A and B are shown apart, each in its own frame.
Chain A
Amino acid sequence: MSRLPVILLLIIAKPVFVQNLYSQNLNDTLHIQEIKIHSKRAIQDNALYVSRIDSVVLNDKANSSLSELLAEHTGIFIKTYGRGAMASASFRGTDPSHTKVLWNGIELNSPMLGMTDFSIIPMLFIDKVELFHGSSSISETSGALGGLINLQTTTDWSGNFSGSYLQGLGSYGTHDENLRINAGNSKVQSQTRIFFSHSDNDFSYVNHDIYDSVNLETGKKYYPIMKNEDAWFTYYGILQELKYRINTCDIVSMSFWGQQSSRSIPLLSTNESGRNNNVNRQEDGSLRGQVSFRHYGEKFTIDAFSGFNSMNLDYSLKNRLDSDSLLQIINSGSLSRSVYNKIKMGYIFSPGFRLELSAGADIHQVNSFEKVKQEGYSEERLQYHTSASVYKKWNRRFISNIMVGTELIQKADISPVWKAGSEFHILPEDKFYLSLSFASNTRFPSLNDLYYQPGGNILLKPEHSMDQDMGIHFNTQGGRLIYSHDISVYMSQVKNWIMWIYGPKGASPENIEYVDIKGLETEFSLKYKAEEFSCLIGGGYVLASSRDMTRSANEFDKSFGKQLPYIPLHSANAMAYTQFKTWSLSYIWNYYSKRITTTSGQSESARDVLYPYFMNSLGAGKQFSAGDSKLDINFKIHNLFNEQYRSVLQRQMPGRNYSLQLKLNF
C-alpha cells in the first residue's frame, strides 16, 4: 500500500488549515446535520413509496461504490461477483434488468444488457439517492418493474468557492483519491469532481474448494492458503457541472461525466489452470452528458431535458500458450449509445389539483462484436413515451391520482402504462397515513435479448406487470426526536417474464408464462439531536417472494412455484451513527437469508446454496477544525467478525479488512 498520498495530503493540509478561506457548505463525513422535517409532501408524491438515503449515510460512503451503499443500507439485494467486480441489483425480488437507474435524468442501464453494473458508479458523483419502490417508479419512468434508483447531484447556490479532498486508504493495496471543487455565485455555479480508485484486491484466504495435497496413508487432506490473484481494479473519472440561474424561477444546467474502469476478473476458486491461463480483463468506459432547463413558476412548471449516454464494454479472455504472448480466446467489444429527450410540464389549477404531462423520445444504438468467433450485431431502437397525470386532494384526509401513459417502440406494439393511487390521512401533516395503488407497467426486451449472436430471439414479447401496493406511513417529531416508519405490502404478477433458457443449440431468451411476486418492506429511522450529541438509528427488513408460476409439460421440472435463483427471501439492514462533540461512531449491519442457485430450489447439497450471512462494520472518527477548514479522520473495520461468505458461488469475498478515510473540507 502506498503511503505517499497520505504524506502529500498532510503536507498540503497544514497551510490550507491556517488560511481563512471562504465559508463552504460541504458536509463532513459523519457529522449529523441540523434536523429538518418536511411535514408537507408535494401532491405529486401522493401514493408513492419513495425512500431517501440520509445525507449522513451518503457522507459516510463518500468513497464507496453505489453497490456498497445499496447493499448495506437498503433492502435491495446486490449480487456481487467479488470485491470491485460486477454487481447487479434485485429490487423487490425482480431481475437486475427490472431495476432502472437514473442519474440526473440519464438512464444508466445498458440498452444492450438491460441492467446496471453498480460497482462502477462512484458515490462522489451522487448527492442524493431516492428509491422508488415497485410501481412508484412509473411516476418517473416505465419499465422499472422492481423499482427505480434515482440519483442526483445538488447545488449549493450560496457558496462562492469551496471544495473537499478525500483520501481513502485500505487493506489489499486500496487507495481512493476524491477531489471536489465548487465555484460560483448565486447566479452561476460550477462543480468539478474527480476521482481515482485502485485496489490490488489481493486478500489471502483459505481455499476450502480445493485440496493442496493428500496424505495417501492417512487420507488427511490439506486446504491451500491462497491469494485472490488477478483481482485488481482501477477506476477514474471526472464530472463537470455548470448551472445558471436565469432568475428565481428558471435554471439551465449542463453536466458531463467521463469515466474509465479496468478490472481483472479472478478465476473461480476451483479453477487450477494457473495464472497463465484464463486471464480475464474487463474495460468499461462511459461518456455521459445532459442539458436541462427547469422553470418553477407559481402554477406552471416545466422540466426539459436532453442527455446522452455512451458506454463501451470490452472483455477479453487470454491464455499464454507456448509463446510469451497471450493468445485471445474471447475478445468482445460493445458500444452502446443512447440519446434521451424528455419534457415534463405541470400545472396547478388549485392547491389541491395538479396536472402533469410528459413526452419523450429515446434512441438506443448497440454495436456488439466478438472478434475471435466473428459474431455480433449492430442494431438500433427508437422508443417514444407519453403520459398524463392528475393529482387531486379531495379533502384534508383523502388524496388520489391517476396516470396513464404509452410506450411505443419501433417494430413493436404500443404498450399502455398506468397507475392509480390514493392516500388516506388518519393524522394531519403526514403523521400517519395509508396508501394504496394499482398499476400496470411494461418493459421491453434488451437489445441482447433480441439480437445477441448466437441465441437472440427477435420474437420476444415485452414483459407486463400488474402491481398492487399498500402502505402504512408514520412520521412524528417530539422534542429532539424524529421518528419515521414505513410499511409496504406489495404484489405483482409479471407476464412474459424474459428468461434465458437452454435448448439443444444453447441458451436463448424466452418469455415464461408469469412470475408471481409478493412481499413486504418496512424501514424506520430515528434521529435524535442534542447540543453536543446526536444520533441516527435506522433499519429495514424486506420479505421478497418471487416465484416462477409457469407449468412445464416435463413432469420432472420442479421449478413451478419455486423462489427464483439468487434472490433472498429475507434481507435486513440496520445502522447506528452517533456523534459526541467532535467524535463519531458508526455501526452498520446487514443480512441476507440463504439464496438458492437452481430453479428447482433444491438445497440437499451445500454446493447449491449460498449461506445466509450477517455482515458487520464499525467506524470511528474525529473531526479537527481550523477556521473554516475541517479535517475528518475516519477509521473503519469492515467484515468485523471476519465472516467467510459468498455472494456468488465460488467467488471469494474478503475477511476482516480496514480502511482509513481522510477528508479535508475547505
Chain B
Amino acid sequence: MDKKSLSKHLLAGIFLTGIFMLQSCMHDETWVEQLKPNLRVEDILAGRGVLVLNEGNFMYGNSSLSYYNSRENEVLNDVFYRQNGIPLGDVAQSASLFDGELFIVLNNSGKIAVVNFGKYPALKAFEFIHKISGLQSPRYISFIDSTKAYVSDLYARGISIIDPATYSVYDKISLANNTPDFYQHPTEQIIQFENEVFTNCYSFDDKILVINSLTDKLIDSITVLQQPNSMVLDRFGKLWVICDGGFQGSAFGNSEAGLIRIDAGTHTVEKIFILPSDSWPSKLCINGGADTLYFINGDVWRMPVTAKELPDQSFISAGSEKGGKLFYGLGVDPVSSEVYVSDAIDHTQNGVVYRFRPDGSSVDTFRVGIIPGFFFFFGE
C-alpha cells in the first residue's frame, strides 16, 4: 500500500470512528418503563392482595414493592417503580395503611413514602402522593389516632410524632439513654395496648420501652434478653418478644436467644423460653386470632400462645444447612392464617416467597424483589 492510499484509509477510519464516538448515550427518561400497572384498590381488595416489601441492598436504593393476588396466585413485581417512574428508595422496612393511604417506611432514605390506596379516586393504587422526609433512620409507623402517628427510628434516639393530615413531624419523644455506652435507644416495632405503646430496642440494646400515648411520655422500661428484634401482642394481652441474644465477640456482650412473654398490663416478664444455643431467631408474627405465634429460627416455627414449652419440631423446614433456603421474611395472613415466608437467597438477586396453608402444605411459590422482608395483607 503506498503512502497516499494509506493516508486515505486512515482518514476514513478516523471519520467512521468519530461518527461512532459522537453518538449520545441514553437518558434516564428513556429507560423508565412506562408499563404502569394501574391497579385499582377494589381489585386489590377483591383479590385479597398481599404486598411484599423488598428491602433491596443497603446503599443500592433498589428496594421495591411486589403485589400478589392471593386469589389468582398472580404476582406483579416492582409496582411502585412501574406506577411512578422513580425508585422506591433504600431499604423498604415496613408499611402501614391509614385512611386510604399507604405509608411505606424507607429506612435508609430517611423518609416515608405515602402512596394512594383509595383516598384519591382519580389516582391509581400505589401512586405516589406525598412523603414525610427529614427522618434519620425510620423503621415503623403506627397510627395512634386520626391525628397522631408514632415513627420509630434506629438513630433518632426517640420516637417522632407525625400528623398524618399534614405529613409533618411535629414533635418527638426523646428516648436517649443517659448512660450511653452504646448508641441507645434504637426503636423498632410499635405496639399499642390500651393507652400505652410498647417499642422494642433492638440493635445493641435489651429494652422494651413503654410510652403513654396520651401524654407522649416514656413511662417504663422492661429489660429482656439481648437484642429484642420483634414482638407481637396476643389475644390475652400478653406481649411476646423474641431476642436473638446478640453475637459472640460483641462489646455489648451476648446472651442466650429466647422468646419472652410479658404482661402488657403490668409490664411484668412472666416467662422466658430459652432457645437452643446457636439460634438466631427473628420475625415473630401472630395469626389473625392472636393465639398462635410464628417465628424464624433457620426453619419456621409455630407455637400456641398457651404452650408451656417450645415446640420440638419446626413447622416449615428450610432444608439442608448448606445451600438450603435462607428464610428472611415472615407474614401470617390475618384472615386465612396462611403463612408467607421469604427466601432472600444470596441477598443480591430477586428473592422467593413460599406460601403455605395453616396445615403446612404448600400453596404457591413466587418470585419477588431483592431481600423480601415485610408482608402487608389487604382485604377481609
**Chain A residues within 8 Å of B, Cβ to Cβ:** 208-211, 214, 216-217, 219, 221, 268-274, 277-278, 319, 321-322, 327-329, 372-375, 453-454, 479, 481, 501-505, 507, 526, 537, 539, 552-554, 556-559, 565, 574, 576, 587, 589, 597-600, 602, 604-608, 611-614, 616, 641, 643-645, 649-650
Contacts and interface: CB of A to CB of B under 8 A. Distances in A.
A598 B370 contact: yes
B1 to A, nearest CB: 10
Given A270-B106, A278-B136, A454-B247, A611 B26 contact: yes
Contacts of A504: 280, 282, 298, 326
Contacts, number: 219
Given A211-B86, A274-B133, A598-B370, 20 more contacts: A208-B28, A219-B123, A268-B59, A270-B86, A271-B110, A273-B110, A274-B110, A277-B110, A277-B155, A278-B136, A322-B172, A327-B157, A374-B182, A507-B347, A556-B352, A558-B350, A597-B62, A606-B81, A607-B87, A649-B60
B128 interface: yes
B183 A605 contact: no
B179 interface: no
A274 B349 contact: no
A612 B3 CA distance: 38
Contacts of B348: 502, 565, 597-600
Nearest to B28: A208
B129 A214 contact: yes
20 contacts: A208-B86, A209-B61, A210-B131, A211-B84, A219-B127, A269-B61, A273-B134, A277-B136, A374-B181, A502-B346, A502-B348, A559-B346, A598-B349, A600-B350, A604-B78, A606-B81, A611-B26, A641-B22, A649-B61, A650-B87
A391 B25 CA distance: 48
A613 B26 CA distance: 8
Contacts of A557: 345-346, 349
Interface in B24-53: 24-29, 31-33
Contacts of B109: 268, 270-273
A89 B27 CA distance: 25
Interface stretch (B230-238, B317-325, B331-339): B317-325
Contacts of B324: 553-554
Interface in B338-357: 343-350, 352
A243 B156 CA distance: 56
A602 to B, nearest CB: 6
Contacts of A269: 61
Interface string B113-125: 0000000101100
B135 interface: yes
A145 B134 CA distance: 45
A137 B247 CA distance: 41
Interface in B216-261: 247, 249-252
A372 B183 contact: yes
4 interchain residue pairs of minimum CB distance: A273-B110, A553-B323, A374-B251, A600-B349
A587 B323 CA distance: 51
Given A277-B134, A454-B250, A553 B322 contact: yes
A268 B61 contact: yes
B110 A616 contact: no
Interface in B137-162: 137, 155-158
Nearest to A645: B25
Interface in B74-106: 77-78, 81, 84-90, 106
Contact of A479 (B3, B89, B108): B3
Interface string B270-309: 0000000000101000000000000000100000000000
A270 B280 contact: no
B349 A272 contact: no
A575 B6 CA distance: 20
